[in-house]
A and B are shown apart, each in its own frame.
Chain A
């Protein structure tokens, strides 16, 4: 069998499977103003592919976490422009859609090592923060349902912790920024907030420091050296003897055998 033929057949099975799924009736959508009839129930992304588009930009994880497929759409009879992720939004009849595969947003450069947890760090790097007029367009645009404006307000008030926590689910698609009246780049600001919070505000894990110290001091070197040279049978024996920490065990659980700790 030729490589190309086989290569195609795999993809074809997938497409075919998808088609069978959508024996559904065809509905019209307008991709950048041009009408195509596609099976109902598809996502905007799969509808575009069904129509014959092959993505280079505007397509990433296909699972709602990478932010590559920001899309603007308008429904018939509605003056409003709405935004969504193409891989997440299901098509509706007569929708008009166009993608925003890249957004030329401003991102501040910084030396992370020099940053403190002071709120002024954010103000200095992103002075446009104070251009926010609290219109809430960002929150309405967010496909993740994040309270974007609340996080922006928190930053204005100097509360990096709250901004980091609210902005944790941000997938950096840039749709908030595309709708922002004040030209803020919310998703880069949240990134900064998260890093400051993670490295400078939350307490560090003591147990992790202890473990890395023990490893550096060579506490496990002999044990690992022995394991490395063991036969499959010897390893299997040790594997069988492992004591299982129960799923429901709390942090206070301790194993009976402490030889290898």
Chain B
């Protein structure tokens, strides 16, 4: 038996939501919203955010940011050894030669490859899974740019980005970002990205959490997918872009002049390592959701395991803003089949209410993500969360309000992706609410870089989620897609120019890995762990207990 597709268990809870719905709709119609928090109130609520749980972190004992407190899951990887013994790698046997090596296959990587190629570089993309397997593909909500001059400008975009990031963001990077965002959107238009727009061509736009103007542009609720598949299609047309799939980089390779000169690649299927030599490298490996920081469920892609942070840190690049991790407020709690899945913030931007077990609103739907998440967690700790039959807890996202406010069928058309996912499970989200709880979503910080995407290692450029600085301590919705377009383009151009004008040939070396191993040893870290981790392991503990092979022999592992 079920009520609106949910197990009977939920019936009384859903009915509470239905009872309070007409009054809430009335409020919305009058333009009344739940009050937004002041900066001081936000600070109070953030104490409930997982980032503020000190026991979730520890000091890292080695590397350029020795003493920095970040999540255990990151430290574990940064205090692990290389997957290879540097002494066994023959760096004189080069397998691939290229001008620009791009590590990663998501949005930032692909866009960097396109622009590098346009700047006359031969490009090699080396990526862990398939080209396009990345968090970019999964981004639903949209992409921010101040494009409507009659009410918005880079000034407001700048303030919103800074406010969302607790005013800790790198001002130079933010300024460049808001200034270049509109042109990045125009570039995507040129490539044929199908933005949602009115018949006269005007781009549709809406609010995201923490925006003061509606500047979130979108492609229905499949914005990232539409952008990713379009740039990937274009990359496939370019003769000078080659792609190696299922070949993640596991170490950066430097040369005797201290410049980045390639990477050690690992063929996931044949388990061979190979050497790619390049005149410049773009590192764009994305985020880290699959580390399940503090045991949280995640919205991230299977391959989001912080590989770039590990490789870059070993090569001497300091970390920036790695002490914060983004939890998206609305991850699915139930049904179980889709636990952890993202429900785009656009539902809230369009008018879906967030309500507790009593069907009451307790927070404005448009607070920055960290504040919104922390408030959800507090509401559940206070005993006002909705329980599930399996002992979890969440709050309701009342999507049917949108159909009442905007018009029947709006949920079905504007959120076609999510509507279908629920529909397959027998739930019509234009009639029933969704049960949600914060889910691990984004790596706010990463490798330190400047406005030109340069790092502490000459010849190594970074772009996208692997970087830190733009978003400060908390990213706003719609700024990650724009991040990867703006800085993917900059990284691609600068890498091509470096390859052509500044690169200096020299002997390849992995000495930085040897040094890092030595540092681990001196810090007294005894470990058999290796990193990057590449893929998570979801084998059940029972099966693992029976995997008794002492050492690998032949093809049997």
Contacts and interface: CB of A to CB of B under 8 A. Distances in A.
Interface of A: 2-4, 6-8, 10-22, 41-43, 46, 49-52, 54-57, 59-66, 68, 88, 90, 107, 109-112, 144-145, 164, 168-169, 171-172, 191-192, 194-200, 202-212, 214-215, 220, 223-225, 227-229, 232, 235-236, 238-240, 242-249, 251, 253-255, 260-261
Can you list the 10 inter-chain pairs with the closest CB atoms, starting with the nearest?
Answer: A3-B529, A195-B192, A203-B201, A199-B192, A198-B192, A260-B155, A4-B529, A52-B543, A242-B212, A198-B194
| Most central of A15, A196, A205, A249 by chain B CB within 10 Å | A205
B161 to A, nearest CB: 10
Contacts of B526: 2
22 contacts: A2-B527, A21-B336, A50-B540, A52-B540, A52-B543, A52-B547, A61-B301, A63-B341, A109-B237, A198-B189, A199-B192, A205-B195, A215-B179, A220-B155, A223-B153, A224-B175, A228-B171, A229-B171, A246-B33, A253-B151, A254-B150, A255-B151
B302 A59 contact: yes
Nearest to B349: A247
Interface residues of B, number: 116
A147 B295 CA distance: 40
A66 B526 CA distance: 39
A236 B547 CA distance: 56
A55 B302 CA distance: 9
Contacts of B171: 227-229
B222 A169 contact: yes
B159 A54 contact: no
Given A57-B129, A254-B150, 20 more contacts: A3-B76, A4-B528, A13-B295, A46-B538, A52-B547, A63-B342, A109-B237, A112-B234, A169-B420, A192-B233, A194-B226, A198-B194, A206-B202, A214-B149, A227-B155, A227-B159, A228-B175, A235-B162, A244-B36, A261-B149
Nearest to B29: A248
B202 A220 contact: no
Nearest to A7: B76
| Most central of A10, A64, A109, A238 by chain B CB within 10 Å | A10
| Most central of B36, B138, B207, B229 by chain A CB within 10 Å | B229
A233 B125 CA distance: 44
Contacts of A210: 149
B53 interface: no
A107 B201 CA distance: 30
B144 to A, nearest CB: 13
A248 B199 CA distance: 21
A245 B190 CA distance: 29
Interface in B126-140: 129-130, 132-133, 137-138
Nearest to A165: B194
Nearest to B529: A3
Given A22-B336, A68-B130, A198-B192, A207 B202 contact: yes
B92 interface: no
A202 B200 CA distance: 8
Contacts, number: 297
Contacts of A55: 302, 535
A193 B498 CA distance: 36
Contacts of A229: 171
Contacts of B149: 207, 210-211, 214, 261
Interface in B379-436: 390-391, 405, 416-417, 420-421, 424
A198 B220 CA distance: 14
B246 interface: yes
B269 interface: yes
Given A224-B155, A235-B167, A245-B207, A10 B73 contact: yes
B137 A61 contact: yes
Contact of B147 (A19, A205, A247): A205
A202 B207 CA distance: 24
Contact of B203 (A16, A56, A200, A205): A205
Interface of B: 28-29, 31, 33, 36, 38-39, 72-73, 76-77, 79-80, 129-130, 132-133, 137-138, 146-156, 158-160, 162-163, 167, 171-172, 175, 178-179, 182-183, 185-186, 189-195, 197, 199-203, 207, 212-214, 219-220, 222, 225-226, 229-230, 233-234, 236-237, 246, 268-269, 291-293, 295, 297, 299, 301-302, 336-339, 341-342, 349, 351, 366, 390-391, 405, 416-417, 420-421, 424, 526-529, 531, 533, 535-541, 543, 547
A15 B540 contact: yes
A172 B130 CA distance: 12
B203 A41 contact: no
B118 to A, nearest CB: 11
B234 A54 contact: no
A172 B133 CA distance: 12
A151 B546 CA distance: 50
A21 B333 CA distance: 11
A194 B301 CA distance: 25
Contacts of A236: 39, 163, 167
A168 B133 contact: no
Nearest to A170: B229
Contacts of B237: 109-112
A199 B187 CA distance: 10
B301 A66 contact: yes
Contacts of B195: 198, 205
Nearest to B547: A52
A57 B269 CA distance: 9
Given A61-B137, A110-B237, A202 B178 contact: no
Contacts of B220: 168-169
A255 B215 CA distance: 14
A107 B151 contact: no
Contacts of B80: 3-4, 7
Nearest to A36: B543
Given A3-B76, A7-B77, A10-B73, A15 B539 contact: yes
Nearest to B224: A65
B222 A195 contact: no
Contacts of B543: 50-52
A223 B302 contact: no
A65 B129 CA distance: 15
A6 B533 CA distance: 13
A224 B377 CA distance: 36
| Most central of B160, B246, B536 by chain A CB within 10 Å | B536
